[in-house]
Amino acid sequence: MKNDLVVVTGAGGFIGGSLVAEMRAKGFQRIRAIDIKPFDDWYQRFENVENLSLDLNLKENCEVAARGAGEIYNLAANMGGMGFIEQNKALCMLSVLINTQMLQASVKHGVRRYFYSSSACVYNAEKQKTYEAPSLKEEDAYPAMAEDGYGWEKLFSERMCRHFREDFGLETRVARFHNVYGPWGTWYGGREKAPAAICRKVIEAKVSGKHEIEIWGPGNQTRSFMFIDDCLKGIDLIMRSEILEPINLGSSEAVTVNQLVDIVEEIAGIKLKRNYDLSAPKGVNGRNSDNTLIRKNLNWEPDTSLRAGMEKTYRWIYDQYLARERGEAGVVRESNAGR
Ligand code: NAD
């Protein structure tokens, strides 16, 4: 299959860009990478890849994207951390256009298999009220009471994937990602998620000598965080599997936000005074990934320890931070050099 045309949407972003890198490394010869952003804003961009800057809200662009494709990985969406999704509900819901039109174009162009990146934000809010990190099973998405805006769009799009499979025979696969983090992710600007935001804040404190950190919420909210390498492995395994219904793809190593800060402080070799902003967006109180289904079906679950993943992420953000301070665009991969 390595000569098949593989399409990655959202390829200018974190997971999409990392997926393109991974596929190149695996020897895929024909990759089409698409993102709405102008090329200079892509986090990673590679030679020998068909890079297209297209708005996939538009049907005609989805046709261009799907033409000739064997497999499509749809990772394009408007998204960000809680600060972004709580304040941009309409924008998040508009991503429904991307998935709906990509599905239609995929059927029209005879695409063999289609991957959709859903989210733990589909889960019923009632089941996430406790701080004790409730493990969410796939069935806990129903009765539906998803995260307003972003989560409802994901839930609706999951169902579109199911019905396109049932009614039109398109082989769809859907994973519910739980908080992905790692090098090449968004780390400033308002769309960053907790792991990257905390790394950046700790670095700022270290560099400035002002040993304080602002934490959103009371600090005892629980979450699990999946390292990017596990996410990429999971996408591949799920795409090749016969798992037809949406499945959790997340780490089951739940921590509080305070514990996440402890880890980053330890990596940075610093202790900070913590100031809690209780009025900041903080999302649900507790959430963890129940991995029973993925373990049963794939004999695997995301297993990079948070400490190990955060170490790599911190180092990467540190380099980016210093490069930015020097007025440079940032650290780029060697394979980006020719862009
Ligand atoms: P990201 O924001 O880094 O990447 C998404 C990319 O989609 C961006 O580069 C954006 O420019 C692009 N995009 C948005 N609208 C577009 C359009 N109309 N046409 C073409 N491209 C468009 O986010 P990410 O973290 O890489 O997330 C990838 C996917 O995984 C998204 O669907 C997201 O909802 C999902 N997801 C991510 C996480 C996470 O923790 N990162 C968790 C759950 C689900």
Domain harbouring 27, CATH code: 3.40.50.720
Three-state DSSP class for 30?
A: strand
Average pLDDT over residues 159-174: 98
Measured in Å, residue 61 CA sits from the centre of ligand 1 at 17
Give dist(CA 86, CA 90) in Å, integer: 10
CB burial of residue 281 (10 Å; 0-12, 13-18, 19+) = middle
Specify if 26 maps to a domain. Answer: yes
Residues contacting 327, CB < 8 A, separation 6+: none
Give dist(CA 173, CA 152) in Å, integer: 18
Q: Closest by alpha carbon to 123, among 92, 154, 80, 160?
A: 154
180 lines ligand 1 (CB under 6 A): yes
Give dist(CA 248, CA 175) in Å, integer: 6
Measured in Å, residue 212 CA sits from the centre of ligand 1 at 31
Average pLDDT over residues 136-142: 98
Average pLDDT over residues 186-193: 93
pLDDT over 80 at 160, yes or no: yes
Point out the ligand 1 atom lying closest to the alpha carbon of residue 193.
Answer: 40
Nearest alpha carbon, ligand 1 atom 41: 180
What are 188's two structure tokens? 């400033």
Catalytic residues: 150
Residue 194 has a pLDDT of: 95
Number of domains composing the chain: 1
Specify if 106 maps to a domain. Answer: yes
174 lines ligand 1 (CB under 6 A): no
Average pLDDT over residues 168-186: 97
77 lines ligand 1 (CB under 6 A): yes
Measured in Å, residue 117 CA sits from the centre of ligand 1 at 9
Specify if 209 maps to a domain. Answer: no
Residue 138 has a pLDDT of: 98
> ∠ CA 142-231-266 to the nearest 5 degrees?
105
Residue 282 has a pLDDT of: 85
158 lines ligand 1 (CB under 6 A): no
Range of the domain at 164: 5-126+136-181+225-252+289-306
Q: In terms of pLDDT, which residue wins out, 58 or 331? A: 58
The pLDDT tens digits for 309-338 are 999 999 999 999 999 999 886 555 544 433
Global pTM reads: 0.96
Question: Would you give the DSSP letter of residue 137?
Answer: P
Point out the ligand 1 atom lying closest to the alpha carbon of residue 180.
Answer: 40
E strand or H helix at 71, and its extent?
strand 71-74
Specify if 193 maps to a domain. Answer: no
Average pLDDT over residues 1-10: 92
Give, for ligand 1, the residue of 8, 75, 95, 157 to mutate: max count of ligand atoms closer than 8 Å to Cβ.
75
Measured in Å, residue 14 CA sits from the centre of ligand 1 at 7
Query: Residues 294, 298, 300, 304: is their CA dihedral positive or negative?
Result: negative
Give, for ligand 1, the residue of 18, 60, 74, 79 to mutate: max count of ligand atoms closer than 8 Å to Cβ.
79
Arithmetic mean of pLDDT over the chain: 95
The pLDDT tens digits for 96-130 are 999 999 999 999 999 999 999 999 999 999 999 99
Measured in Å, residue 16 CA sits from the centre of ligand 1 at 7
Specify if 334 maps to a domain. Answer: no
Specify if 232 maps to a domain. Answer: yes
Residue 83 has a pLDDT of: 87
Specify if 53 maps to a domain. Answer: yes
Point out the ligand 1 atom lying closest to the alpha carbon of residue 17.
Answer: 26
Average pLDDT over residues 57-81: 97
Specify if 116 maps to a domain. Answer: yes
- Per DSSP bridges, beta strands 226-227 and 180-181 are parallel
Average pLDDT over residues 46-55: 97
71 conformational bin, left if phi > 0, alpha if psi -120 to 50, beta if neither:
beta
Share of the chain above pLDDT 70, in %: 97
Residue 305 has a pLDDT of: 98
The pLDDT tens digits for 235-257 are 999 999 999 999 999 999 999 99
Measured in Å, residue 210 CA sits from the centre of ligand 1 at 33
Give dist(CA 97, CA 92) in Å, integer: 10
The pLDDT tens digits for 17-43 are 999 999 999 999 999 999 999 999 999
Give dist(CA 102, CA 151) in Å, integer: 19
Q: Closest by alpha carbon to 225, among 246, 198, 197, 195?
A: 195
Residue 289 has a pLDDT of: 98
